Amino acid sequence: YVLKDSNNNLDYVVKIVKRLYKNREIKALIVDDSSVSRKFMEDILSSHNLRVFTAINSDEALSILEKNKDIKLMLIDENMPGMRGSDLVNEVRKTYTKEQMSVIGISSYSNSILTVEFLKRGANDFILKPFNKEEFCLRVMQNLEILEMFESQKIYATTDFLTGLYNRRFLFDIGEKLLENAKRNNLPISLAIIDIDNFKYINDTYGHLFGDFVLKTLSKILKERFRAGDIVARLGGDEFCIIGIMGESSYSVFDSLRQKVSSYEFKDQDVNIKITISIGVTNKLEDKVEFMLKKADKMLYESKNLGRNVVTI
Ligand code: GH3
C-alpha cells in the first residue's frame, strides 16, 4: 500500500502542526477496513503528536465521533462493508462544517468520479492509495493549517482584543439566539450594562496602561463570576454587557458583583486603587438585543445620576 518515501525527514511537519495548535491535542479518526492502511496512517499521525482513533466501518466511526465531538480530522476510505465512505462523509457533514472538521477521502481506485463524489459530499480533500508518505503528511498538515486559519479568524471576529471577552458584534449574534431560546422556553432572562465609574480620571491619573490593566482585571472578575451559559462581552471603552438567565435574583447577582468590585484592590506595580462600577439591568425580554440594551442603558443612566456605585433595575 505504501510507496517509497521521497523524504523521510518529516520533522518540519511536526513543527508546523505544533506551532499551529500550540501543543493542544488534535484528535484524528481513521475509518478503513484494511488493517495495513489503518496502521500506516495511525503510525504517521501518532508520530506527529495527533491522538488517533481507528474504526473499521462507518457505524463504529459514528459511535467514536459521538463520544469525541472534538475530533478535528477524519480520514475515510470509500470501500468498506456497510455504509460507503462517501456516504459517511455526507452523514458527518450534517453535524460538522468544513470549518469545524477536516475530512479527507481515501480510495485505492484512481477514479475521478469517486474523487468528485467525495468532494460533492463535503470532503475537504482526497488521497489515493498507494500512499506516498510525504504527500500524505503534507495534505494532512495543509488541511489542519486551513482549519486553524478558520479557527483564528473566528476568534478575531468574535473576541475583544484587549480583554479576551466576546466583542460587541458577537454579543448581538449570540445574544439573539439566547433571547430566542428564553422566549421559546419561557426563561427569565436579564441583560445588564456595567460601566466603570470615572474611568477617564483613572486613565488621566495613572496612565492609559494602568487603565488597560483595570479593564483586563475587571474582565477576569466578570468571567469568573458568571456561568458558562451566560454571555459576558465588552461593549467598548469601559462598558461591559452580561446576558443570562437570572430572573428574580438578578438584582442580588449584580449588587453582589458591584460590592465585590468596590472592595477589590486593583494592584499593578506601585499603583494600588479601588474602583466602583455602575450597573443598569433590564429583566424584560425583548425580540432584539438592541432593544434590551436601550432599556439597560436608561437604567445605567439612572445609576450614574444616583451618584454611581449603584445597581438600577
Ligand atoms: P462616568 O462615571 O460618567 O462613566 O465617567 P467616565 O470617566 O467613566 O466616562 P467616560 O465614559 O467618558 O470615559 C471612558 C473613558 O474610557 C474614556 C476613554 O478614553 C477610555 N477608554 C476607552 N477605551 C479604552 C481602552 O481600551 N483603554 C483605556 N485605558 N481607556 C479606554
How far does residue 200's CA lie from ligand 1's centre (Å)? 5
The ipTM of this complex is 0.98
Per-residue model confidence (pLDDT) at position 2: 43
Vertex 123 angle, CA 121 and 126, to 5°:
120
Give pLDDT tens digits along the chain (313 positions).
Answer: 444 444 444 565 556 555 655 557 889 999 999 999 999 999 999 988 889 999 999 999 999 999 999 999 999 999 899 999 999 999 999 999 999 999 999 987 666 778 888 999 999 999 988 888 888 988 998 898 898 888 888 888 999 999 999 999 999 999 999 999 999 999 999 999 999 999 999 999 999 999 999 999 999 999 999 988 899 999 999 999 999 998 789 999 999 999 999 999 999 989 999 999 999 999 999 999 999 999 999 999 999 999 999 999 9
CB 50 within 8 A of CB 28: yes
Per-residue model confidence (pLDDT) at position 101: 96
In sequence order, which residues have a C-beta less than 8 Å from that of residue 138 and are 6 or more positions away? 13
Per-residue model confidence (pLDDT) at position 113: 79
Ligand 1 neighbourhood includes 34 CB (under 6 angstroms): no
Q: Which helix (H) or strand (E) holds 266?
A: strand 266-268
Dist CA 240 CA 193 (whole Å): 6
CB 185 within 8 A of CB 129: no
Dist CA 313 CA 300 (whole Å): 9
Per-residue model confidence (pLDDT) at position 49: 81
How far does residue 234's CA lie from ligand 1's centre (Å)? 13
Mutate to test the pocket of ligand 1, among 199, 268, 306 (most ligand atoms within 8 A of CB): 199
Dist CA 303 CA 313 (whole Å): 9
Q: Among residues 145, 194, 151, 154, which one has the least CA distance to residue 174?
A: 154
Dist CA 183 CA 288 (whole Å): 11
Q: Which three cell numbers stand for residue 208?
A: 492609559
Q: Torsion angle of alpha carbons 94, 98, 101, 105, nearest 10°?
A: 90
Dist CA 126 CA 252 (whole Å): 57
Ligand 1 neighbourhood includes 170 CB (under 6 angstroms): no
Ligand 1 neighbourhood includes 208 CB (under 6 angstroms): yes
Ligand 1 neighbourhood includes 216 CB (under 6 angstroms): no
CB 76 within 8 A of CB 87: no
CB 144 within 8 A of CB 21: yes
How far does residue 283's CA lie from ligand 1's centre (Å)? 26
Q: Taking each helix axis as running N to C, give the angle between helix 85-92 and helix 112-120, from 0 to 180 degrees, rounded to the nearest 10.
A: 20
Residue 65 phi/psi, 5-degree rounding, is -65, -35
In ligand 1, the atom with minimum distance to the C-alpha of 209 is: 29
Ligand 1 neighbourhood includes 306 CB (under 6 angstroms): no
Dist CA 184 CA 187 (whole Å): 8
